[in-house]
Structures are given as C-alpha cells and as structure tokens.
C-alpha cells in the first residue's frame, strides 16, 4: 500500500512538466544516459563523454590540475565573502582583519581558508607542471596549451602576491615593498635600472610608480592591489582557464601513449 | 638547535613550505620510480620475440604494457566519464576540502602589527614563493634577479615544447628516452627554485646573512666580506696590476661572457657533430641557439653562486651603467 503510494508520487513528480524541463534523462544505467549525464550538464560538459582509461589513474595524473581548479573555485567563494567585509583603504583595511578575528561569524576560518587555499594552489600548480613535464604531455599537439599553462602559473603567483598586501600588516607591507622594489631596477623603465636614469626615469614616473600608484606602498597601492586581486586578475585567469580546458579537450584529453 | 628550526618551521606561513618540500619530494620520487619502471618494461619488451602475425606495431605493444597491468589489458581503452571520472573527481574534491577545513580551523593565518613604513623588520622577506628570486639578490644586481631572471624563467618555460624536438616520451613516464630534458627540468625546478626557497626561509636571517639550520639568528653578527670583481681576482692571481683598471675590467668582462656562451654553444655542437647525432639536424640553428642560451644562462646562476662562495667574486662585468 505504502510502496504503491510512493511509486505514484514518484510518477507524478518525474512526469511533471517542471521536472522534465530540468532533467532531460532517465535513471536507467544505459550508455546513452551516461553520455547524456555529461553532455546535458553545462558544468560536467567540461569533460568529454568518454575518457581514456589511463586518465583515471592517480599515478598517471596525480589529480593536480583538478585540485588546482577546485582551489581556484574555493578561493573565488571565500574571496567573495571576504569582500563583503573588507575596505581597501589605509584606515579600514587592518581594522577589518581584526573584525574578521573577533566579530564576523566564522570570519577567522574564512580568512584562514582563503590564505591556506592560496598557498596550496601555488604548490599544486607547480606539481601539475611537474607532472605534465614528466609525462611529456607538453609535446605535440599540446605545445600551445603548455604556454597557456605557464601564463596561468604566473597569474597564480601574481594573484597570491597582490593578495599578500591586502591585510595591510607588517608582513604583507614589507613583502610587497621588497617585491615591488625590484621594479625600480627594471632596465629602461625603472629609475634605478640600467639606462633608466638616462631615459629620464625618476621615482615619480617609472614602472614602480605605475604599479603602486605612488612612490611608496601606500593607500593607492592598496587600492590597486585590491582591484588587481579581486577583479582584473581573476577575470584574466578565468579567460585563460577556459582556453586551457578547451584546448585540453581539443588536443585529445589527458596525454597518454597512443 | 632543534628549537630554532622548530620556531621557523612552525610559523603559520612556513607550514606550506614544509608541506611543499614533502609533496615535491614525494611526487618527485613517484615520477622517477614510474619512469624507471616503464624503462625496465620497455627494455624487456624490446628483446621479446615479435608477434607471429608481424602486423602489431612493437611500440603499441610496449605502451599497453606500460600503462596497464596484465589483468587490465583486455579491457576497453575508453571508459564513460560518468560515473568513472566524475566519481574520482568528487572523492578527490571531498578529500581536499576536508584537508583544507582541518588546516583552517586550528591554524590561523598570520597577522602582524599594522603596517608601519618607519619600522623595517630584519630580515624583510618577500612572499615565500619568491624567496628564490630574493636569494638571487645576493649574487646578482636587482635588475637581473628581480626583472631579467623572472622574464627568462617565464619565456624559457614557454619555449620548452618548441625546442624539445624529441618525439619520444609523449604521454608516459620515462627517463631513458629523455634524460637531458628531465635532468635539466629538475635542476631548474628543484635545485634553483625549491631549494632556494628552503634556503631563503630557513637559512637567511638578519641582514639576509646565511645561518645554518639551528644556528641562532644573531642580529649583531658581522661578517667581513671582501668581495672583489673578476678582473681584480685575475690581477691578484696573475700579478698583472694593469688588469685592475676599469677599461681592463670592462674588456675582460665582455670577453669572459662571450667566451662562456661561445664555448657553451660550440663544444656541445662539435661533440654531437663528431658522434653524428641526429639531434643537431632535428634542432636546426635557431632551436639549438635558444636551447643553448637558456641552458647556459641557468647554469650561469649556479656558477656565479659557486664563484661568490668560493672566491668572493662580486661582478664578472663592470660597466658605468650596469654590472653583471
């Protein structure tokens, strides 16, 4: 009696117009349904319906590319929540860190997770690169995708670097000061670099000034780091990620011996 | 002694560095172990008698041997992504999220005092992933360590697929088929990047001076460094005092660098030509020069480090505008 009713309810739900408009396939374990599960879902559609068996082996792929992407998603989510509370100016930035520590619900875990995921992502990107190198997966036809991957590696490091300044504490301030002081020495474009002085570069018009929006790491640098970190670079990274994934598929998926 | 190491290693921001070292060593050993295993299998397959039909390609046979244990060799080559791959991704994602949670709850992200431009910490360190570059500042001027080398690293990485003409080892672990590529990669990645980060974290104390692990970071330590330039060094050993002049230094520097790259290009070329290695024709002039340039530039880093540590040599080339 009860099972009969259950079946009936299930029937009503799965045959309703609403349900069928959302889920296009049945539950039967058929090759067609398996393919549709991938093809009919915009997120899973990153995958092809079928993959080479070797691509599933942990020892072959180390899962590092996927973990990197997962960490990128984690960083986007935690980053959005951090953005709700954070003000990129000299007066508020450090106070907001204390605000996270003492006031914001789960604020500490939120900030911790953002930082550790960022550090972890730097490591997994390097391991992903190492795996791709060791399996020779950059060889034809995947040369271009390797170059895209190098750009993504650089973007990862720059994202992490711009985020370093945002708490506006001694650690971030001096790390970014040390980092951006290098820009002074850029050949031609920095005022302390080779031929920079001869070309009229000063501390107030060289490339470091452009990066910091000033001659010291101050309020403008904080705002610039914030805009790079939260808008410009994530968007750039997403565009390159799209190309990276697309080319991975077009070039034949995870490299294996064929 | 262990106390000092523990203080540095247990800093929240240094935990990732310890983790990185463990992970890089683990996956490094894994990749080499797989590579050597595959090489053994391929060597064994090479001496095996050909299949009687004679149609099966030798390479295809070897490759299946490498990738799958015998019990799996009869299975279809392709599997459906749903559920096989999606399931693995899901498990992997849960594992990583769990790790991240357990890491984020007990260990707080560092937060020091509010930034103060008038209070410089000693040592001031760049973010840990750039410590290799910061450590290069000891051996090179900032325009090389901070601008030129990063550019070379990025461009050098990007050109790898275009200069590696070896068609073997595409898609599987192997060492025997591409020893030069793999050794070069590990020298650059592990020795020059990862180890430099570890040195920058654990061995660079106040004043960016070198401290052995466990040695107390004494901010008042004074090390008398008497660094001399290459031409002065040569003048000292040969006794020719004219070498100490600026002009001599300039000329000597240019000659040394040109000779270094010139011989670096020429000797491998002649050696490979003598053995009539096909790689010379496969590479062509442009690719060969690019390989040579990046390879010897990378080697120059380690040579400069040795020259500085062993002979206190500061610059190879001194000009009024820049020094190398």
Quick one: how far is CA A77 from the chain centroid?
11
pLDDT at position B210 is: 87
Provide mean pLDDT across the span B163-190.
93
Quick one: how far is CA A79 from the chain centroid?
11
Q: Which of B39, B47, B30, B46 is nearest to B66 (CA)?
A: B39
User: Rounded to an integer, what distance in angstroms lies between the CA atom of residue A233 and that of residue A226?
Assistant: 10
In CATH terms, the fold of domain A62-250 is: Cytochrome Bc1 Complex; Chain C (1.20.810)
Would the CB atoms of B157 and A117 count as touching at under 8 Å?
A: no
Chain B from 203 to 232: CB within 8 A of any A CB: none
Can you give the residue ranges of every domain in chain A? 62-250
User: Which residue on chain B is closest to A47 by alpha carbon?
Assistant: B81
Provide mean pLDDT across the span B244-269.
91
- Ramachandran category for residue A193: left, alpha or beta (phi over 0 → left; psi -120 to 50 → alpha): beta
pLDDT at position A163 is: 95
pLDDT higher than threshold 70 for residue B56:
no
pLDDT at position B63 is: 64
User: Rounded to an integer, what distance in angstroms lies between the CA atom of residue B286 and that of residue B292?
Assistant: 10
Would the CB atoms of B24 and A130 count as touching at under 8 Å?
A: yes
CB nearest A170 (choices: B20, B83, B116): B116
How big is the CA angle at B188 (ends B183 and B194), to the nearest 5 degrees?
115
pLDDT at position B154 is: 97
Q: Which of A133-147, B111-125, B234-248 is predicted least confidently?
A: B234-248
pLDDT higher than threshold 80 for residue B87:
yes
Place of tokens 């780091």: A225
A194 — contact with chain B (CB < 8 Å)? Answer: yes
Chain A from 87 to 116: CB within 8 A of any B CB: 94, 97, 101, 108-109, 111-116
Q: Which residue has the higher pLDDT, B233 or B23?
A: B23
pLDDT higher than threshold 90 for residue B205:
no
Q: Which of A106-110, A192-196, B93-97, B141-145 is predicted least confidently?
A: A192-196
pLDDT at position B48 is: 66
B72 — contact with chain A (CB < 8 Å)? Answer: yes
A74 — contact with chain B (CB < 8 Å)? Answer: yes
pLDDT band at residue B62 under the 50/70/90 scheme: low
User: Which residue on chain A is closest to B179 by alpha carbon?
Assistant: A134
Residues of A in contact with B119 (CB under 8 A): 170
Would the CB atoms of B172 and A160 count as touching at under 8 Å?
A: no
Would the CB atoms of B171 and A135 count as touching at under 8 Å?
A: yes
Q: Chain B: give the shortest CA distance to residue A103, in Å.
A: 15
pLDDT at position B50 is: 59
Average pLDDT in chain B: 88
CB neighbours of residue A218 within 10 Å: 15
A211 — contact with chain B (CB < 8 Å)? Answer: no
A226 — contact with chain B (CB < 8 Å)? Answer: no
pLDDT at position B265 is: 93
* A154-159 contact pairs (CB < 8 A, 24+): A154/B154, A155/A233, A155/A236, A155/A237, A155/A240, A156/A68, A156/A121, A156/A122, A156/A125, A156/A237, A157/A122, A157/B129, A157/B130, A158/A228, A158/A233, A159/A118, A159/A229, A159/A233, A159/A234, A159/A237
Chain B from 160 to 189: CB within 8 A of any A CB: 160-162, 164, 166-174, 178, 181-182, 185, 189
Q: What is the mean pLDDT of each run of 10 residues along chain A (258 residues)?
A: 87 90 84 89 88 87 94 97 95 95 94 96 97 94 96 96 94 90 89 86 89 91 96 97 94 79
pLDDT higher than threshold 90 for residue B76:
no
Provide mean pLDDT across the span B115-142.
90
User: Which residue on chain A is closest to B108 by alpha carbon?
Assistant: A112
pLDDT above 90: percentage of residues in chain B? 49
pLDDT at position A237 is: 97
Q: Nearest 10 degrees: CA dihedral of A27, A33, A36, A42?
A: 30
Q: Chain A: give the shortest CA distance to residue B80, in Å.
A: 4
pLDDT at position B59 is: 52
Can you give the residue ranges of every domain in chain B? 2-77+128-208, 230-311
Q: Which of A101-105, A161-165, B199-203, B212-216 is predicted least confidently?
A: B212-216
Q: Which of A72, A136, A169, A206 to mutate to test the interface with B (most CBs of B within 10 A)?
A: A136
The secondary structure of residue B171, as a DSSP letter, is S
Q: Is A56 exposed, middle or buried (0-12, 13-18, 19+ CB in 10 A)?
A: middle
pLDDT at position A145 is: 96
User: Which residue on chain B is closest to A74 by alpha carbon?
Assistant: B97
pLDDT higher than threshold 90 for residue B44:
no
Instruction: Please report the DSSP string for chain A in residue order.
Output: -HHHHHHHHHHHHHTSHHHHHH--S-S---HHHHHHHHHT-TTGGGS-SEEEGGGG-HHHHTTHHHHHHHHHHHHHHHHHHHHHH---STTTHHHHHHHHHHTSTTHHHHHHHHHHHHHHHHHHHHHHHHHHHHTTTTSTT-HHHHHHHHHHHHHHHHHHHHHHHTT-BHHHHHHHHHHHHHHHT-TTTSTTSTTTTTTT--TTTSHHHHHHTSSSSSHHHHHHHHHIIIIIHHHHHHHHHHHHHHHHHHTTSS----
């Amino acid at each position: 009696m009860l099972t009969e009713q259950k079946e009936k309810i299930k029937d009503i739900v799965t045959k309703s117009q609403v349900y069928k408009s959302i889920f296009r396939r049945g539950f039967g374990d058929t090759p067609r349904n398996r393919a549709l599960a991938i093809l009919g879902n915009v997120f899973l559609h990153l995958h092809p319906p079928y993959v080479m068996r070797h691509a599933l082996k942990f020892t072959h792929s180390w899962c590092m590319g996927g973990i990197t992407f997962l960490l990128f998603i984690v960083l986007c989510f935690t980053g959005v929540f951090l953005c709700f509370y954070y003000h990129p100016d000299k007066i508020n930035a450090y106070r907001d860190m204390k605000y996270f520590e003492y006031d914001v619900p789960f604020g500490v875990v939120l900030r911790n997770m953002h930082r550790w995921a960022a550090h972890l992502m730097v490591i997994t990107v390097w391991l992903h690169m190492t795996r791709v190198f060791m399996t020779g997966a950059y060889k034809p036809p995947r040369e271009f995708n390797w170059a895209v991957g190098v750009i993504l590696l650089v973007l990862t490091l720059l994202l992490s670097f711009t985020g370093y300044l945002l708490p506006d504490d001694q650690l971030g301030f001096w790390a970014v000061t040390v980092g951006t002081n290098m820009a002074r020495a850029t050949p031609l474009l920095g005022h302390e670099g080779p031929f920079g002085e001869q070309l009229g570069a000063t501390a107030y018009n060289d490339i470091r000034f452009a990066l910091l929006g000033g001659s010291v790491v101050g309020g403008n640098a904080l705002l610039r780091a914030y805009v790079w970190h939260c808008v410009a670079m994530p968007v750039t990274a997403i565009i390159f990620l799209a190309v990276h994934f697309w080319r991975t598929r077009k070039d034949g998926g995870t490299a294996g011996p064929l | 002694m262990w106390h000092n190491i523990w203080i540095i290693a247990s800093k929240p921001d240094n935990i990732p560095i310890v983790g990185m070292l463990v992970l890089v060593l683990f996956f490094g050993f894994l990749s080499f172990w797989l590579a050597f295993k595959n090489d053994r299998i391929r060597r064994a397959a090479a001496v095996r008698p050909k299949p009687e039909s004679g149609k099966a390609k030798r390479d295809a046979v070897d490759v299946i041997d490498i990738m799958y244990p015998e019990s799996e060799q009869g299975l279809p080559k392709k599997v459906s992504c749903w559920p096989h791959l999606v399931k693995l991704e899901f498990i992997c994602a849960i594992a990583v999220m769990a790790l991240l949670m357990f890491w984020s709850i007990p260990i707080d992200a560092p937060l020091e005092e509010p930034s103060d431009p008038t209070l410089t910490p000693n040592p001031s360190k760049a973010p840990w992933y750039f410590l290799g570059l910061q450590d290069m500042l000891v051996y090179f001027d900032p325009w090389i360590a901070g601008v030129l080398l990063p550019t070379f690293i990025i461009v050098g990485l990007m050109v790898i697929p275009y200069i590696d003409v070896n068609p073997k080892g595409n898609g599987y672990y192997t060492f025997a088929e591409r020893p030069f590529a793999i050794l070069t990669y590990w020298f650059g990645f592990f020795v020059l990047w990862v180890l430099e980060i570890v040195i920058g974290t654990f061995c660079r104390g106040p004043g960016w001076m070198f401290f052995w692990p466990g040695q107390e970071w004494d901010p008042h330590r004074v090390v008398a460094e008497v660094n001399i330039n290459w031409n002065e060094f040569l003048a000292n050993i040969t006794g020719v005092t004219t070498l100490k002049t600026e002009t001599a230094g300039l000329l000597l520097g240019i000659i040394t660098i040109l000779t270094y790259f010139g011989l670096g290009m020429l000797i491998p070329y002649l050696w490979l030509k003598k053995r009539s290695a096909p790689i010379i024709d496969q590479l062509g002039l442009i690719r060969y020069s690019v390989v040579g340039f990046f390879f010897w530039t990378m080697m120059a880093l380690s040579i400069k480090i040795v020259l500085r540590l062993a002979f206190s040599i500061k610059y190879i080339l001194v000009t009024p505008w820049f020094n190398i």
